[in-house]
Chain A
């Protein structure tokens, strides 16, 4: 049912889910992820097709080391932009922040469409491939996801993570506790952007082509759905949601024309039936005490 090409897409979805999760863990509903994803992807597409130093061969190949360099640069560019923008945007709250970030996504989309060097509507195609097969992408994508997951897990014990959780619970109280809320929110925002930018780099190579349609309002909502359906209280939620919701339209192929109706039903009924998302802290606790309970 699931081939490695789809698996790579699912893992990319999980990464984007984590990117939306990070600011949300600090109580900030930012939908800017597709903007940074688009920026990362555009950078990778430009670098690998225009910059000979990266070693993109005429046979359409690319040294893996160059991919790593692009990952670094893509993450860095997204992070720097986020740091600059975050100061402005993060003064907004709740739905205002959400809409402002949607605006950001649209602005980036139109910019990529109109800039003279991004290929216009067709975009940039013939992006060099670091791997001959889809399976090759599993390694870097899984690597990035593992790194991000490990970091999110560690975050729970770190001061930054605890400060984020405090802001999420009650921003005023957190401020009273002496937490520099502006700084903490900004860090979460930047981390989210770095992750989205790096994911865009991988996606650009995987997709062979890159254009303005990759980062849109639809993508904003889809990635938010990953988090809400998977569960926003633990990092495993968005990962699970990303994997599931990316695979779902493909798994629903046998139902033909009705597949998007069913897909819509799933995101409609998901939060109704599982209000906390599919992966909740309570579920993790139960899972954690499973073996112990049986042993006694």
Chain B
């Protein structure tokens, strides 16, 4: 009994960690702009593919060009970091194309839902054309894990070593980000903009630069997430980031829009709830996540750790 409880906990934390990472990507942008970046899932995919390519992975271009790849083969850690930076650039591009023109005009936030979705559709389909539809797996062990066992036993509960690594990096990234937001000048400026766009400007903070910073950081998170999940479960096709994007969206709202601790708590809670679904009802697992979300919203319209919502659309 204890064992299975521990196992459930471990399972929940393992998937919840990734959910939290995805949700944090949304959170950064949302806290600054009050909008959701629907391209986040596609950026997640991009991060996975970029990591794979930088590690020397070969792609098929739908069979048209088998064995194509970059002339480099970096170790996993380096490839992951570079891919995260690359995804940050892509995220900045998304900001430039899908958000900046609308913001300058003071358009309804609704419209950026659509433009960012369009950016996501373009990105995913470009990935498919360039990379092909087939699944790719990172080289076995991916350098970081070579020589380690496949699995670790913790008090009778099992977890894959890759999952532990993933969890550790997720936790590290989240911790760094929180510290940075709390302590550093840049982080404080970002929070000031998140608090109040206009006042921040009066205080002499370059709010546009802060918006770009938020996008870049959320791109880094998407890139990290994509690369790590890719390592754990392979790249299952260009659409693989999209489902994480959707889950992340649920987590984002569950925890409270724009709240960093909320996103983390929401992610873990969602992961745990899913892990608790008994096998007989596993078909309902996806509904459970959204049912919880639905319930929480009705009881606490601002999410678990969100502030009481303000009257604006």
Contact = CB atoms under 8 A, between A and B. Distances in A.
Give yes or no for direct A-B contact (beta carbon below 8 Å). Answer: yes
Interface of A: 27, 29, 88-89, 91-96, 99-100, 102-104, 106-107, 109-111, 113-114, 171-172, 217, 221, 224-225, 228-229, 232, 257-258, 260-261, 263-272, 275
B122 A94 contact: no
B38 A217 contact: no
A7 B248 CA distance: 36
A201 to B, nearest CB: 24
B152 to A, nearest CB: 33
A5 to B, nearest CB: 24
A271 B114 contact: yes
B313 A275 contact: no
A261 B129 contact: yes
Nearest to A218: B242
Contacts of A228: 110-111, 113-114
Interface in B107-152: 107, 109-115, 117-123, 125-126, 129
Contacts of B284: 110, 114
A103 B250 contact: yes
Nearest to A111: B287
A267 B286 contact: no
Interface string B93-112: 00001100110010101111
A264 B129 contact: no
A172 B253 CA distance: 24
Interface string B241-284: 00000100110010001000000000000000000000000011
Interface string B25-51: 000000000001010000000000000
B107 A275 contact: yes
Interface of B: 36, 38, 97-98, 101-102, 105, 107, 109-115, 117-123, 125-126, 129, 246, 249-250, 253, 257, 283-284, 286-287, 289-291, 293-294, 297-298, 301-303, 309, 311-313
A221 to B, nearest CB: 6
Given A228-B110, A268-B98, A88 B298 contact: yes
A272 B129 CA distance: 25
B123 to A, nearest CB: 8
A103 B114 contact: no
Contacts of A29: 110, 313
B107 A260 contact: no
Nearest to A113: B283
Contacts of A114: 283-284, 287
A95 B257 contact: yes
A113 B282 CA distance: 12
Contacts of B36: 95
Given A95-B36, A114-B287, A268-B115, 17 more contacts: A27-B313, A29-B313, A92-B298, A93-B311, A96-B301, A109-B287, A110-B290, A217-B246, A221-B114, A221-B117, A228-B114, A260-B121, A265-B122, A267-B114, A271-B102, A271-B112, A275-B102
Contact of A224 (B114, B283, B298): B114
A103 B112 CA distance: 20
A217 B293 CA distance: 15
